[in-house]
Structure 1
Amino acid sequence: MWSDEKMLLLSSPNGGGMAIFDQRHWHVIDRVSTTGIGSDDEFFVRSVQQEDHADLVVQHLSGRTRRLRFGEFSDIHDVYVKNGFIYAVSTGTNEIVCLSARSGEIVSRRTFPGEPDSMHLNCLDEWNDRLVVSAFGRFAKHREYKGSAPLNGLVMDVQTGEDVWGQLTEPHSPRQAGAYYLICDSGTGRLLISDGAEVRAEIPLGGYPRGIAITDEIVAIGISGHRRQEDAGIARVRTIDLRTLQLVNEIPVPFREIYDLRFIPVSLATQLKPVRGGWPDVR
């Protein structure tokens, strides 16, 4: 399906964990509920799911692992790692925080208006050197997005707050693939592909799509059962050929939900460590 030099890493919240796929089998790393995952040339970072604080595991690829816990942030949904900095989405406080991966110190905070978790900021990516975040809408009240009309969702520039893509429904997992932009329009069960001016493809996926990874002209999309469905069943990954937009494969996963997907080098996959006991002090 893709190069043997890469494996597919998956994170799962709400009783899930983290697992890796070698094109034949899933290998469960641990069963610690996890949301965002990300890495650069020096660090691998995962967000352990916590409702009332931030809990980040930072693994230096030279071997050292540290755990950062912040009481001032909450419900971390995603992390994006670049040049030794961690950008984390604090959904519960309506902000994006930048941290030093080396020291764990807070570098900057970008706070958006509204009550806590009014916008439901969730996933990060970089589009043409702009850090972008997906959100359920520009609401003012706490979780006002619940039960709201569709098409309020958006992708926006973190620095300027400018809309980059609008009229979405519960969007997650913005990704750039060359000249094209992808988003899981989770509320409608679709993958959308845009050229930046208009939507060029709408691919119905069913379930609740969330998590996109791209490599070798293959896009992998996580499909979770919708939480409001009693028979949601197990989650699965669907792989699609970006050239033809045809389904390549469907892979059942060992968890009920998927949050994030990343293709990573085998060299990184062999270094990933399970989360074990021991809690850091709240900062």
Structure 2
Amino acid sequence: MKGEHVLVASGLGAVSGGGLYALTPGGGVQQLDARSTTGFAVEPGAAPRLARLLWTDDDVEAPGTLLISDAAGDETAWTIDALREPHGVLWREDGGGLVVVSTLTNAILWLDPDRREVVRTWTADADEPGDAWHLNDLVVHDGRLLASAFGRFRTHRGWAADGARDGAGIVFDVATGADVLRGLTCPHDPTPLDGGWLVCDSASRRLLRLDAAGTVEEAVDLGGFTRGVAHDEEHVYVGISAHRLAGADEGRAAVVALERATLAEVARWELPCQEAYGLGWLPAALAEGVRRGSAAAAVGGDGAVAVAGVAAPVPAGGAAEQREDAGGGRLRRFLRGLQP
């Protein structure tokens, strides 16, 4: 935990199922909800709500569903016809509602969730309907709304052709169209940090650290499809997925903790789902409200939703490194840092 906050991962999987998972230093992984989820975001303010998007499994006929939960355990669902294959979501800092990514329609939607209205739609330029750019995640930086995309492709999933997406990925200003970062390969999660950027260069299996101008300063190969980034004062957390198009049914997702200064791996959680999508910090009371409000959760006797067979965080290097850390090494310092 970070103060009174809990690190949460969203996950999904056609075979494994998914949901929301709380990552804990002593107990490993607790399942808060059992519905496969892509992006999620915590509302600013004193009584925040959680907004999250349910995974639609690439079904072109399936409208996306937005779930909003609060600390009291109340939950509302809104199925939005204009939202297809939902990915990223963020709350507007001015209190004006939500912005979400409709990947399959090549669009970004501004939503008023209380009135259940689509207020505005921005659509990327392409020659035909469908997922041309593979828009995915959103971030506000210096007052500008930025989005990540696989590239400015003209046709539905043109990025899927062999070699087409290599280096074509961008992070761009939605209002002006100007590139902020370029030369990426299937980017997700552009995250401003320490005067520069962290970006999941997903198809190259790497986390990139870039300077403010977009020059790569460090690249860490994490061994899988990288997606989902969070951080605290000492660590960066990154999701790693089994690739959906390359044997994902056989694998499982994980979250790794890296030292913020060096990007050296210090711990790892194994998730019970095939893919990780998002990472973020939830207020502990809100995480508990999500758990209590989820009819799909399997509640244990102590009120926690434990995932059977999931171990506590495993230090990089396995049991041998854990023995070496017994005198007070990086892992123990890391776990203490998560305590409230």
Larger radius of gyration: 2
- Secondary structure of 2:276's match? coil
Aligned to 1:281: none
1:22-72 deviations in Å (ceiling 9; x for gaps): 222211122211111101133210101123212000124465421111112
- Does residue 183 (structure 1) correspond to residue 193 (structure 2)? The answer is no
CA contact (8 A) 1:211 1:258 kept: yes
TM-score by length of 1: 0.91
- Secondary structure of 2:243's match? coil
Letter of the 1:22 counterpart: T
Say which is worse superposed, 204-213 or 262-271, in terms of deviation: 262-271
Equivalences for residues 96-107 of structure 1 within 5 A: 96-107=108-119
Say which is worse superposed, 135-144 or 12-21, in terms of deviation: 12-21
Equivalences for residues 34-113 of structure 1 within 5 A: 34-40=37-43, 41=45, 42-50=48-56, 51=59, 52-61=62-71, 64-82=74-92, 83-113=95-125
- Secondary structure of 1:138's match? coil
- Secondary structure of 1:119's match? coil
Aligned to 1:264: 282
Q: Which runs of 5 or more residues in structure 1 are unaligned?
A: 278-283
TM-score by length of 2: 0.76
The structure-2 alpha-carbon separation of the partners of 1:5 and 1:175, relative to structure 1 and needing over 3 Å to count, comes to: same
Q: Distance in 1 between matches of 2:186 and 2:165?
A: 10
1:109-134 deviations in Å (ceiling 9; x for gaps): 11111131111101111222211111
Letter of the 1:29 counterpart: L
Identity of aligned residues (%): 33
- Does residue 3 (structure 1) correspond to residue 2 (structure 2)? The answer is yes
Higher fraction of strand: 1
CA contact (8 A) 1:151 1:167 kept: yes
Equivalences for residues 199-238 of structure 1 within 5 A: 199-230=216-247, 232-238=250-256
Task: After TM superposition, give the deviation of residue 235 of structure 1 in Å.
Answer: 1.1
Q: Which runs of 5 or more residues in structure 2 are unaligned?
A: 297-340
May I ask how many residue pairs the two structures share in their alignment? 276
Higher fraction of helix: 2
Aligned to 2:170: 154
Letter of the 1:31 counterpart: A
Letter of the 1:199 counterpart: V
Letter of the 1:6 counterpart: H
Q: Distance in 2 between matches of 1:10 and 1:124?
A: 17
CA contact (8 A) 2:29 2:269 kept: no
Equivalences for residues 113-192 of structure 1 within 5 A: 113-114=125-126, 115-147=129-161, 148-192=164-208
1:202-255 deviations in Å (ceiling 9; x for gaps): 111111110001112311000112233337521111111111222121111121
